[in-house]
Amino acid sequence: MRLGLRWKSALAVALSATLVLGLSAIIAAQVVRSVQENLGEAFARNATQFNKQRLLTPVARELALSQRLADSQLLHLWLTNPSDARARQLFFREAQGYRLAFSDRSYFVADIARRSYYFNDPKTPFSDKARQVLDPKNPADAWFFGSVKNTENYNLNVDFNPKRRETKVWINVMHRENGHKSAIAGTGLDLTQFLKTFVSGGERGVTPMILGESGAIQAHPDAKLIALNSGSGQKATSTIFGLLEGSKTTVQRALDAAKATPDSVQLVGATLAGKPQLLAVSYVPELRWHVVTAVDLNAAQLLDSRTLALPLILGGATLAALLVLVAIAVNRVVVSPLLRLTKSVRQIETGSYNVEWPRVANDEIGDLSRAFETMTTQIRTHTDQLESLVDQRTSALREANQHIHDSIQYASLIQSAILPQRELAEAFGADLGLLWLPRDVVGGDLYLFRADECGCLIGLVDCAGHGVAGAFMTMIAHAAFQSAVDEVGMKSPAAIITRLDEKVRVTLGDTGKQSGVATNMDAALVYFEYESQNLIFCGAHLNLFCCENGTVTQVKGARTSLGGRKIPDLRDLKHPVAAGEVFYLSTDGYLDQAGGEKGFSFGTTRFADMIARCAMLPLDAQSHAFADELHTYRGQHRQRDDIGVLAFTRPAKPAVRSLLNHDASTLNPTAITGLSTSVTSHGSF
């Protein structure tokens, strides 16, 4: 019978778990839990009784001395005759003896009728004069007025003196004349020493506290939790109930039970400061205080670690031996075969399928090894077939890609052939700047030129789309432009663009509407008459920028594009040409280019500012400057659209004109080559 890997692993884990859980149950349940709970209760009771006795002895002594001082006949004689210097001298001489007997070496007397406060200690020179007059509006004097309202003969109060920067436990004993309160006398205990002596036990997980009858915290290891002035009758700002999470009623019953039976210690469970703790409560009737010890059974050192040393050592040794045995067994049965199998699989990862698979036992790992061997053979066969198929498809894709590339390059050559670059150079010479940056190999922008004996026409067309689609639109626009000029003449750019719009609409028909493809285009034309001092401009969604002596203005065209749903309202605009004035036409590819820190468009304002900065440069240099400015502004943003910018001045009338009627069919190969070179040389000349 074959024992599979699942049963082998289950047997090993079951054996280990049984031994570990057995040891944990014996050690934890029988030793730690039961013993810790019993010791915790005993420790809490003993610690509370011990703290109660440590607290009662010194405080009771100070309270007794304070009561004797308050009952002094000399104090009675002095308060009865406050103007008697002899009575004052005798009382303060007697009070000096009490001062030496007090642990704090200090005493105080507060005259209720005159609100006079007398105080002497070793830190200040002796004086039988009042140190201050107590003011009900002064928060620091609230203890006095609270004690006066208190019906008890004495109280213990925790107070902070900001002038002396001292926090003390004050014993306030009432002096009465014929049953009426006439003075308060007593002493103080420094809280630092008080906490060190009675509260700070130094045990981890143990928090001793002293509470007033209402639960106000009178002493705590954390001085910030002490309710100052609560012993004089003021409302407590910090109580034991504020630290509890639930169990408030249970804790209150424990406080009441401890007060009813002062010799007992009440035990109650509560959640204090977010941790479950055991509270031991006892009442000190002489001081009207509760002594409380909070024990965190999980943190307190209730057990001597040496008691558990031998069981822990034996358990640790047994567990270690068990782990060694389990490790050896798992290594032989599981790990070693898997490592050999992993080594063979990694050879396959490197692309080598000539792998010798390990021969293992007749179990699940052996089955897995044989399955891998079969899978490797199949993968090797499929890989050979796929590589052959990929080579065939790659060759076909390479041929198709080359065909597409050659076609696009040829389209670029044809598109360049229809651009009147040579005619512009002959007409304007150095008074022309051209920035031509198609987004792709071919683009959707087109610049135009026609001339005759009377004048010349120059302009830009921005067709919807870019790439191959835009290039086809430029062919339509170019043919429509040539036909429109032939029909309406050159002198009215508005008539030419209107006729261009009509021809584009007739040519495309409803193609754009049916397919959802944009077929609109923007256009701008400028006509110069040689004998006139004016130019005539018309634009459809394109504007003319004019720069004279560094001042840039705009002649705005119509807001509607050609070929859209709305027929554009086109008009000729005359503009008088000043000497040296330069004109600029730009498609929206330049103005809409995103860039800068926030990715905003370049915009007309920035374009006009750039023209003003570059106005003193030659026009061919301006085109280079425009290209550099756009490149810097664009940064890491991609080019959005085709870019075309024309910069020109008023052309002079040529003496002899070689090309009066430009047509694409008249271009020779030399002109085509020159155009191709122009585009690749940064698009300017």
- What does the block give as tokens for 73? 């006949």
From residue 345, how far is each of 330, 336, 356, 386 by CA, in Å? 21, 14, 10, 21
Burial of 654 (0-12, 13-18, 19+ CB in 10 A): middle
Name which of 400-414, 537-551, 619-633 the model is least confident about. 400-414
- What does the block give as tokens for 235? 């409302």
Position with higher pLDDT, 593 vs 237: 593
Contact 640, 441 (CB under 8 A): no
Fold for domain 1-303?
A: Beta-Lactamase (3.30.450)
Predicted pLDDT of residue 178: 84
Confidence of residue 628 (pLDDT cuts 50, 70, 90): very high
CB atoms within 10 A of CB 640: 17
**Measured between alpha carbons, how far is 541 from 555 in angstroms, rounded to an integer?**
12
| DSSP per residue, 503-533 | HHHHHHTTHHHHHT----EEEEEEEEETT-S
Give the pLDDT mean for 316-330: 74
Tokens 């934890």 correspond to what residue? 28
**Measured between alpha carbons, how far is 585 from 448 in angstroms, rounded to an integer?**
12
**Measured between alpha carbons, how far is 519 from 512 in angstroms, rounded to an integer?**
6
Predicted pLDDT of residue 657: 44
> What is the residue extent of each domain of the chain?
1-303, 419-680
Give the pLDDT mean for 465-471: 84
Name which of 271-275, 434-438, 490-494 the model is least confident about. 271-275
Predicted pLDDT of residue 201: 56
Predicted pLDDT of residue 658: 45
Position with higher pLDDT, 619 vs 159: 619
Predicted pLDDT of residue 541: 94
**Measured between alpha carbons, how far is 480 from 460 in angstroms, rounded to an integer?**
14
Closest by Cα among 570, 593, 554 to 494: 570
Predicted pLDDT of residue 507: 86
pLDDT digits (tens, 9 = 90+) for 538-561: 999 999 999 999 999 999 999 999
Contact 86, 56 (CB under 8 A): no
Portion of the chain with pLDDT greater than 70, in percent: 81
Residue 296, SS3? coil
**Measured between alpha carbons, how far is 391 from 287 in angstroms, rounded to an integer?**
100
Instruction: Collect all residues with Cβ–Cβ distance below 8 Å to 670 and sequence separation of at least 6.
Output: none
**Measured between alpha carbons, how far is 484 from 502 in angstroms, rounded to an integer?**
9
End-to-end Cα separation, the chain, in angstroms? 92
Confidence of residue 436 (pLDDT cuts 50, 70, 90): very high
Side chain identity, residue 85: A
**Above 50 in pLDDT, residue 672?**
no
**Above 60 in pLDDT, residue 4?**
no
**Measured between alpha carbons, how far is 220 from 238 in angstroms, rounded to an integer?**
11
From residue 679, how far is each of 268, 408, 638 by CA, in Å? 93, 15, 19
Give the pLDDT mean for 641-646: 95
Predicted pLDDT of residue 670: 31
**Above 90 in pLDDT, residue 495?**
yes
Confidence of residue 530 (pLDDT cuts 50, 70, 90): very high
Predicted pLDDT of residue 674: 32
Tokens 């639960």 correspond to what residue? 215
Side chain identity, residue 648: F
Contact 642, 474 (CB under 8 A): no
Alpha helices in 418-438 (DSSP H): 421-428
- What does the block give as tokens for 19? 């031994």
Give the pLDDT mean for 290-294: 86
Predicted pLDDT of residue 124: 87
| DSSP per residue, 55-122 | HHHHHHHHHHHHHHHHT-HHHHHHHHSTT-HHHHHHHHHHHHHHHHHSTTS-EEEEETTTTEEEEE-T
CA dihedral sign, ordered 631, 634, 637, 642:
negative
Report helix angle 336-349 to 364-417, nearest 10. 20
Predicted pLDDT of residue 195: 62
Confidence of residue 629 (pLDDT cuts 50, 70, 90): very high
From residue 400, how far is each of 203, 269, 406, 410 by CA, in Å? 86, 85, 10, 15
Confidence of residue 669 (pLDDT cuts 50, 70, 90): very low
**Above 70 in pLDDT, residue 512?**
no
Predicted pLDDT of residue 676: 32
- What does the block give as tokens for 178? 């014929």
**Measured between alpha carbons, how far is 6 from 364 in angstroms, rounded to an integer?**
8
**Measured between alpha carbons, how far is 203 from 183 in angstroms, rounded to an integer?**
42
Predicted pLDDT of residue 328: 78
- What does the block give as tokens for 6? 């699942």
**Above 50 in pLDDT, residue 663?**
no
Residue 23 CA, distance from chain mean position: 48
pLDDT digits (tens, 9 = 90+) for 17-70: 677 767 766 765 666 667 667 777 887 788 788 877 777 777 888 889 999 998
The top-level CATH class assigned to 419-680 is alpha beta
Predicted pLDDT of residue 607: 96
Position with higher pLDDT, 306 vs 332: 332
Q: Which residues on adjacent β-strands are paired with residue 183?
A: 111, 175
**Measured between alpha carbons, how far is 120 from 626 in angstroms, rounded to an integer?**
91
Closest by Cα among 363, 496, 427 to 660: 427
**Measured between alpha carbons, how far is 237 from 225 in angstroms, rounded to an integer?**
9
- What does the block give as tokens for 123? 């830190």
| DSSP per residue, 262-279 | TT--EEEEEEETTEEEEE
CB atoms within 10 A of CB 310: 9
**Measured between alpha carbons, how far is 650 from 266 in angstroms, rounded to an integer?**
110
Model pTM score: 0.46
Contact 5, 365 (CB under 8 A): yes
Contact 24, 247 (CB under 8 A): no
Closest by Cα among 174, 103, 176 to 144: 174
Q: Which residues on adjacent β-strands are paired with residue 573?
A: 537
Predicted pLDDT of residue 197: 65
**Measured between alpha carbons, how far is 365 from 359 in angstroms, rounded to an integer?**
10
Q: Return left, alpha or beta for 65; rule: phi > 0 is left, psi -120 to 50 is alpha, else beta.
A: alpha
**Measured between alpha carbons, how far is 494 from 669 in angstroms, rounded to an integer?**
34
Give the pLDDT mean for 392-412: 86
